[in-house]
């Protein structure tokens, strides 16, 4: 028997709908929903253990997976099953996690898992835009202690009109691609890329998405009410001691305030804070510390946070002595690594990134194989964050989700500035060598300079900055912090990263931790970020003003040529023999692709030696050579025959044709050697194709003046009795010419 199903529908306003359904699938989970739009269906389940974990944080796992069966495809690889998550899936997990995590109680530490699966795919629906909706809807049906319903939505802009949850095809025409996460009251998360838009335009896009998110939150609440709202579970809350909290605050606040105001460096400041903490712990006995030592540490960090925030709000000062809008000292260097195709160092305060660029053919493109999208990237960026960059020693367990997310943000910041006619596949790698502040924004800056150093003709240079916000809801005071430190990242009410050119924003990432942030404050924060970006951009262009005109001598040069489809096979040769021998002889890499529209061959020639590239181009010219009727061409005799000479076009080596004896000269030619000999070079005129042999016809005599008194021979009369050459059927093959030949042989 099919159980009772509960369903809510959200109208997107343009004929499209999103439905949320529960009651049919995965009923043993603590909450489960199926979210559907078109033929796209997501199943989301949530489970949270009833026993608190022995940790001081929320062990939340958000897992998003796309099943290949959803689009009627097989997974790649030998085992033909889904394995580790792709970068695209990891990025969706991060989008959902960043909105959900702050809404659980600070003292809720039960192991919690949110699993979202793409079960059916629709080419016109991007599933990641509905993942946040699915997660929140499932939680609303559970008994989790969770603050309020949230949702996420993608916004695009096509021809000046905002579009909610656009398709991938629509995004190709859009100048905005942003995902916004919010509750009905507050925007909480923003991430996306743009084509040099203004701060005001970005805020308008956020407002547009938020209005749609409000409707999605209302639908979740209606579904939970219809299904039967569960009582929120009870859990063992953390111990609290208000008297101890006040005592620690009194002991720590002034001392922390003094250290924070001293404008010390990161390690010196950390050591001073640790010393204050140890002094406070020393006032308690071993028995007391064993009993409530964890509370001492917790309340100390609260006092530290309060002191640092108050310093900024009251005096406009920060931990390192800067004013709120001040950028740390910057130094840059390009061409640091001698063997790379491009390199640059960007250092801002205690944050440093070394970027490298590698240039290659389309063979090196990054292949994307997901159920919801197949394609390739000819520009991509990888970001590495080793433990030594923060003075730590810990094992490296592959690429972390953080590294995937930070690399994606930097890639989105830069990719719009790669020119469409760039012939290379371009890979940027950022190695973070020091970190105290935003290393992803340092990656954008070092990546910009490395690309210009490599000779990639960027449309415009891009810079990036990390910003913070500290606010006091009671007094209305707030401070926007430019170029935040690592410590400021944790104590603020908002942190956001913005990248752009001198003309507008290219990418952003925001996490807003305070409720009801006004759009006015948001615009002011973005304006301050713009000023910081332009300051940093000036430092970049002081180091390298424009892209180098050429790639480095040791970097590969790339030439792309197009050839007709019928010549692709000739260039490859049987079993690839021609192209392999050509690559070996010229020391080049040759890649041939077929244009999906025109079906022409697109030939990429990559090499460090221009002579080798020229040799490949000459071979292609030779293979595709087509003489024009009436054109004059220089040829060389390469073979002598009784009835003419075989000549080779000098402009297209390997292309041969027959120069018939009748076309050597105006006078009658008895012997070919009377006119030309082996190795002779001269001009011929292309006069068309022989209708009988279908081969080229060239003439030497057509370029020579006619002898005085020359008379044209009368045209042959093919209608004379007896047929051609006056030969009857019985005389075929036995005319006078054959008789004369036999007489010569007997002599």
Segment 594-645, tens digit of pLDDT: 888 888 999 999 998 889 999 999 888 888 888 888 889 899 999 999 889 9
Say what the pLDDT of residue 730 is.
Answer: 45
Cβ contacts of 267 within 8 Å, gap of 6 or more: 391
pLDDT tens readout for residues 180-227: 999 999 999 999 999 999 999 999 999 999 999 999 999 999 999 999
Q: Using alpha carbons only, give the angle 385, 386, 390 rounded to the nearest 5 degrees.
A: 90
Say what the pLDDT of residue 717 is.
Answer: 52
Say what the pLDDT of residue 477 is.
Answer: 87
- HEC profile of 6-45: EEEEEECCCCCEEEEEECCCCCCCCEEEEEEECCEEEEEE
Say what the pLDDT of residue 472 is.
Answer: 86
Cβ atoms of residues 193 and 177 within 8 Å: yes
pLDDT category, 731, cuts 50, 70, 90? very low
Say what the pLDDT of residue 649 is.
Answer: 86
Mean pLDDT over residues 310-329, rounded? 92
% the chain with pLDDT above 70: 95
Say what the pLDDT of residue 715 is.
Answer: 54
Mean pLDDT over residues 460-472, rounded? 94
Q: In the chain, which segments carry CATH 3.30.230.70?
A: 6-227, 330-543
Alpha helices per DSSP H over 318-362: none
CATH class of segment(s) 557-623: alpha beta
Nearest to 163 by CA among 13, 17, 373: 13
Position 710 pLDDT exceeds 60: yes
Cβ atoms of residues 248 and 39 within 8 Å: no
| Range list of β-strands (E), 280-350 | 330-334, 342-348
Say what the pLDDT of residue 596 is.
Answer: 84
Known binding residues: 489, 495
Q: Which residues of 43-74 are buried (b: 16+ CB within 10 A; e: fewer)?
A: bbbbbbeeebeeeeebebebbbbbbbebbeee
Say what the pLDDT of residue 714 is.
Answer: 61
- HEC profile of 713-731: CCCCCCCCCCCHHHCCHHH
pLDDT category, 713, cuts 50, 70, 90? low
Give the full edge-to-edge strand order of the sheet including 379-384.
330-334, 342-348, 351-360, 425-434, 379-384
- HEC profile of 160-211: CEEEECCCHHHHHHCCEEEEEEEECCCEEEEEEEEEEECHHHHHHHHHHHHH
- Tokens of residue 349, six digits: 């305060």
Position 96 pLDDT exceeds 70: yes
Mean pLDDT over residues 716-724, rounded? 48
Mean pLDDT over residues 91-102, rounded? 96
- Average predicted confidence (pLDDT) for the chain: 90
Q: In the chain, which segments carry CATH 2.40.50.140?
A: 631-703
The whole-angstrom separation of Cα 74 and Cα 301 is 51
pLDDT category, 656, cuts 50, 70, 90? confident
pLDDT category, 492, cuts 50, 70, 90? confident
The whole-angstrom separation of Cα 253 and Cα 280 is 11
CA atoms within 13 A on the CB side of 205: 32
User: What CATH number does domain 6-227 carry, 3.30.230.70, 2.60.120.620, 3.30.1490.20, 2.60.120.20?
Assistant: 3.30.230.70
Position 745 pLDDT exceeds 50: no
Q: Which residues pair with 151 in a beta bridge?
A: 182
pLDDT tens readout for residues 6-26: 999 999 988 899 999 999 999
Say what the pLDDT of residue 81 is.
Answer: 87
pLDDT tens readout for residues 265-280: 888 888 999 999 999 9
Q: Is 110 exposed, middle or buried (0-12, 13-18, 19+ CB in 10 A)?
A: buried
Alpha helices per DSSP H over 367-424: 401-415
Mean pLDDT over residues 59-70, rounded? 95
The whole-angstrom separation of Cα 289 and Cα 698 is 103
Known binding residues for Mg(2+): 489, 495
The whole-angstrom separation of Cα 747 and Cα 351 is 99
Q: In the chain, which segments carry CATH 1.10.10?
A: 242-315
Nearest to 219 by CA among 459, 17, 424, 466: 17
Of 48-52, 104-108, 327-331, 673-677, least confident by mean pLDDT is 673-677
Of 30-44, 101-115, 472-486, 500-514, least confident by mean pLDDT is 472-486
Cβ atoms of residues 409 and 464 within 8 Å: no
Position 105 pLDDT exceeds 60: yes
Nearest to 696 by CA among 688, 685, 708: 688
Cβ atoms of residues 189 and 103 within 8 Å: no
Q: Is 127 exposed, middle or buried (0-12, 13-18, 19+ CB in 10 A)?
A: buried
- In Å, the largest CA–CA distance within the chain is 135
Say what the pLDDT of residue 539 is.
Answer: 97
pLDDT category, 746, cuts 50, 70, 90? very low
Mean pLDDT over residues 420-434, rounded? 95
The whole-angstrom separation of Cα 562 and Cα 559 is 10
Cβ atoms of residues 26 and 43 within 8 Å: yes
pLDDT category, 92, cuts 50, 70, 90? very high
CATH fold label, 330-543: Ribosomal Protein S5; domain 2 (3.30.230)
Cβ atoms of residues 257 and 305 within 8 Å: no
The whole-angstrom separation of Cα 413 and Cα 507 is 5
Cβ atoms of residues 318 and 266 within 8 Å: no
What does CATH list as the number for 631-703?
A: 2.40.50.140
Helix H or strand E encompassing 363: none
What does CATH list as the number for 242-315?
A: 1.10.10
């Amino acid at each position: 028997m099919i159980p009772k199903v509960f369903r809510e529908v959200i109208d997107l306003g343009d004929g499209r709908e999103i439905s949320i359904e529960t009651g049919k699938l995965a009923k043993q989970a603590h909450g489960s929903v199926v979210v559907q739009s078109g033929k796209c269906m997501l199943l989301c389940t949530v489970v949270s253990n009833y026993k608190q974990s022995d940790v001081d944080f929320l062990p939340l796992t958000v897992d998003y997976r796309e099943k290949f069966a959803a689009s009627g495809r097989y997974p790649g690889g030998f085992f033909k099953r889904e394995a580790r998550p792709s970068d695209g899936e990891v990025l969706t997990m991060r989008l959902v996690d960043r909105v959900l995590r702050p809404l659980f109680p600070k003292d809720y530490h039960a192991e919690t898992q949110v699993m979202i699966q793409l079960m059916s795919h629709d080419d016109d629906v991007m599933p990641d835009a509905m993942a946040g909706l699915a997660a929140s809807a499932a939680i609303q049906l559970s008994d989790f202690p969770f603050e309020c319903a949230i949702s996420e939505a993608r916004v695009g802009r096509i021809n000046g009109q905002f579009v909610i949850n656009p398709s991938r095809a629509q995004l190709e025409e859009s100048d905005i691609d942003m995902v916004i996460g919010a509750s009905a009251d507050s925007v909480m998360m923003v991430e996306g890329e743009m084509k040099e838009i203004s701060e005001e335009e970005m805020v308008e896009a956020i407002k547009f998405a938020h209005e749609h998110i409000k409707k999605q939150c209302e639908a979740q609440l209606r579904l939970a009410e219809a299904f039967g709202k569960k009582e929120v579970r009870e859990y063992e809350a953390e111990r609290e001691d208000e008297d101890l909290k006040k005592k620690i605050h009194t002991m720590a606040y002034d001392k922390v305030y003094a250290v924070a105001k001293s404008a010390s460096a990161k390690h010196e400041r950390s050591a001073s804070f640790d010393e204050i903490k140890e002094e406070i712990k020393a006032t308690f006995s071993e028995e007391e510390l064993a009993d409530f030592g964890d509370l001492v540490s917790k309340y100390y960090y609260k006092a530290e946070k309060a002191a640092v925030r108050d310093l900024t709000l009251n005096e406009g000062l920060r931990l390192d002595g800067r004013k709120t809008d001040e950028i740390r000292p910057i130094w840059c260097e390009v061409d640091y690594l001698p063997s790379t195709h491009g390199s640059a160092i960007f250092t801002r305060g205690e944050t440093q990134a070394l970027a490298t660029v590698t240039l290659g053919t389309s063979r090196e493109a990054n292949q994307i194989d997901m159920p919801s999208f197949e394609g390739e990237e000819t520009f991509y960026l990888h970001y590495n964050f080793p433990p030594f960059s923060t003075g730590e020693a810990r094992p490296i367990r592959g690429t972390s989700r953080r590294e995937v997310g930070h690399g994606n943000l930097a890639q989105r910041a830069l990719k719009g500035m790669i020119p469409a006619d760039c012939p290379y596949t371009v890979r940027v790698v950022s190695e973070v060598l020091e970190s105290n502040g935003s290393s992803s924004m340092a990656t954008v800056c070092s990546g910009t300079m490395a690309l210009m150093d490599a000779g990639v003709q960027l449309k415009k240079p891009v810079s990036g900055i990390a910003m913070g916000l500290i606010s006091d809801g009671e007094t209305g005071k707030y401070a926007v912090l430019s170029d935040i430190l690592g410590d400021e990242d944790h104590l603020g009410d908002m942190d956001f990263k913005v990248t752009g050119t001198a003309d507008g924003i290219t990418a952003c990432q925001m996490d807003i931790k305070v409720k009801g942030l006004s759009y006015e404050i948001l615009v002011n924060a973005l304006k301050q970020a713009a000023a910081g970006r332009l300051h940093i951009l000036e430092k970049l262009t002081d180091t390298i003003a424009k892209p180098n005109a050429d790639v480095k001598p040791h970097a590969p040069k790339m030439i792309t040529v197009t050839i007709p489809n019928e010549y692709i096979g000739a260039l490859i040769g049987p079993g690839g023999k021609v192209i392999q021998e050509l690559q070996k002889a010229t020391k080049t890499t040759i890649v041939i692709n077929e244009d999906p529209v025109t079906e022409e061959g697109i030939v990429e020639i990559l090499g460090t030696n221009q002579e080798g590239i020229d040799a490949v181009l000459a071979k292609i010219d030779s293979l595709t050579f087509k003489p024009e009727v009436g054109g004059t061409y220089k040829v060389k005799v390469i073979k002598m025959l009784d009835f003419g000479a075989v000549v080779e076009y000098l402009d297209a080596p390997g292309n041969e044709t027959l120069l018939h004896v009748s076309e050597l000269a105006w006078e009658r030619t008895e012997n070919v050697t009377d006119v030309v000999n082996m190795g002779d070079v001269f001009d011929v005129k292309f006069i068309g194709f022989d209708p009988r042999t279908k081969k080229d016809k060239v003439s030497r005599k057509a370029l020579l003046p006619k002898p005085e008194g020359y008379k044209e021979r009368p045209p042959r009369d093919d209608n004379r009795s007896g047929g051609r050459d006056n030969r009857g059927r019985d005389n075929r093959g036995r005319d006078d010419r054959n008789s004369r030949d036999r007489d010569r042989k007997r002599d």
